Each structure stands twice: as C-alpha cells, then as structure tokens.
Amino acid sequence: MAECILYNGGMFNNDYLTAKPEDVKYGQTFIGAGTENTQEGTMPTYYNVEHDFPINGKFSIPEGYFVSITLKQDIPTLGAQYVDPSINGTTAGVKGTYMTGNVFIGGISGISSAVIKKGVKIGPYIGTFEGWVD
C-alpha cells in the first residue's frame, strides 16, 4: 500500500471536505470536516449478519459497514385444496401458508328445496319443507 504524508495545522483549505468520523470505518485515519487535524473513524463494521423473517416481519438495518448480510424468508406454500362439506364442519388447513392454488369447496349432494325448512336459504336453495319427520 502506498504511503502518504498527512499534514495538518493550516496547510490546506478543508471547507470542501465532508467526511465525519461516523462516515469512516472504525480505526481508519482521515482528514475531514470540522478540523484540519487527523481524525479516526467510528463507523461500526458488521460481519455475517443473518436474519430470518417471519411472515410480514421487519428488520431494522443499523448504520455501519456490512461485510456480509443475508436476509431471508421461508414461507411454506400450499397448492390447491379440495374441501368436502360435512355436518360437523371442515377445516381447509391453510394457516401459516402462502396459497399457490385455489381452495375448492364441493357441493352438497342430495339437497333440494324440499328437504330444507321453509324460508331457510342454503346456497342457491330456499327451503319449502313444512312437515314433521318421524
């Protein structure tokens, strides 16, 4: 690396120098804004920073010099799902996943207006049944 003699104490006009200690890596010597004397950098250096994001997570990147930074997110995916209606209800099981397909809900078989209580609507059917069941 080349050598350079750094003079200080009024030998040059430093009005155009803008570097401040927080702009220069920690431990590095420089001449910058605010003084004609040499200064030492204070910018922190971060090595091998890794962060795993949860769904919709955030990460605040601090000020400094990064040698390596890895930000990643692994969201489980789920393709098309088929749900058949049941009397006790059905869960599609999609919690915590990113859907890459549609959720298909099957129709109810053996249903008609005649088997639904009068005035009750189920899907496209409005019930007409008014009798008693033995």
**pLDDT per residue as tens digits for the range 37-71:** 899 999 999 999 999 988 888 999 899 999 999 99
- 88 plus 65 within the same structural domain: no
Q: What is the chain's mean pLDDT, rounded?
A: 86
132 in a structural domain: no
Integer Cα distance of 50 and 56 in angstroms: 17
- 21 plus 5 within the same structural domain: yes
For the entire predicted model, the pTM comes to: 0.49
Give the residue carrying structure tokens 């059905």.
Answer: 90
19 in a structural domain: yes
- 81 plus 112 within the same structural domain: yes
Q: What pLDDT shows up at residue 131?
A: 83
Integer Cα distance of 126 and 129 in angstroms: 10
Q: 87, exposed or middle or buried, with CB in 10 Å at 0-12, 13-18, 19+?
A: exposed
Contacts of 15 (CB under 8 A, 6+ apart): none
- 119 plus 81 within the same structural domain: yes
Structural domain span for residue 54: 45-74
96 in a structural domain: yes
Integer Cα distance of 103 and 81 in angstroms: 5
Contacts of 53 (CB under 8 A, 6+ apart): 59, 71, 72, 73
Phi and psi at residue 21, in whole multiples of 5°? -55, -35
- 82 plus 121 within the same structural domain: yes
Q: Pick from 70, 74, 68, 77: which is nearest to 53 by CA? A: 74
111 in a structural domain: yes
- 39 plus 49 within the same structural domain: no
What's the domain count of the chain? 3
pLDDT band at 27 (very low <50, low <70, confident <90, very high): very high
